[in-house]
Chains A and B, each alone.
Chain A
Amino acid sequence: QQPVQSPQAVILREGEDAVINCSSSKALYSVHWYRQKHGEAPVFLMILLKGGEQKGHEKISASFNEKKQQSSLYLTASQLSYSGTYFCGTERGRWNYGGSQGNLIFGKGTKLSVKP
């Protein structure tokens, strides 16, 4: 039940916008977004919870459509520092739901390159 991310890769010029999508075939409790730069560990960006609650950086914008089991990450006015691979992680439930125990299943990632 790995979430599907799209696009797989995107190249932007500085200042351009991008949208990264994450979808699941299963009902979701939450969607998590992380960014990983080459050779570094993933860094937390945002959590979107069923019911509309969000936790994360103020400058990051994202949405979570519970009915469609989809989330989108919006990167506006991109900067060079936005380059990296973006992973969404989905949480199917908590407390013995499907055995996930609230753990995350990560998508294959979207590689974002921002050029000057």
Chain B
Amino acid sequence: EADIYQTPRYLVIGTGKKITLECSQTMGHDKMYWYQQDPGMELHLIHYSYGVNSTEKGDLSSESTVSRIRTEHFPLTLESARPSHTSQYLCASSAGQGAYEQYFGPGTRLTVT
């Protein structure tokens, strides 16, 4: 059973607000990811981390930032939310790079009004 958690599960927030989406895993995985997924669409990698103090931008340009101060925690922050940020955000982790199973969290569905 994968142990990766995301909070909040649903968030409705006004334009211009600062928000942080939380992601935690208890599996001791080094690599963690943030994906953005619109309804019925594919997953787009927006950030990833190889381990503590390591963060990189993914393939999809994003106005969000991430941090990795602890192995188990990989929060994503939007400094000023906009309606274009409305989407589902999925966090995932894996035991290593590349050919390892990714475990996904339940996601945060964000709506910016």
Contact = CB atoms under 8 A, between A and B. Distances in A.
Given A41-B104, A41-B106, A107 B42 contact: yes
Interface residues of B, number: 24
B98 A42 contact: no
Contacts, number: 63
B80 interface: no
B59 A91 contact: no
A116 to B, nearest CB: 23
A114 interface: no
- Interface-central residue, A2, A34, A40, A44, by most chain B CB under 10 Å: A44
Q: How large is the interface on A (under 10, 10 to 19, 20 to 34, 35 or more residues)?
A: 20 to 34
A94 B50 CA distance: 13
Interface in B25-43: 33, 40-43
A30 B98 contact: yes
B75 to A, nearest CB: 18
Contact of A47 (B40, B101, B105, B106): B101
B67 interface: no
Contact of B103 (A40, A44, A49, A106): A44
Contacts of B41: 108-109
B45 interface: yes
Contact of A55 (B48, B101, B105): B101
- Interface-central residue, A32, A55, A91, A104, by most chain B CB under 10 Å: A104
17 contacts: A41-B90, A41-B104, A41-B105, A41-B106, A85-B40, A87-B42, A94-B98, A101-B50, A101-B56, A102-B98, A102-B99, A103-B33, A103-B45, A103-B98, A106-B44, A107-B42, A111-B40
Interface of B: 33, 40-45, 48, 50, 56, 58-59, 90, 97-107
Given A42-B43, A103-B45, 6 more contacts: A29-B99, A32-B99, A42-B102, A55-B101, A87-B42, A101-B56
Nearest 3 Cβ contacts at the A-B interface: A102-B98, A41-B104, A102-B97
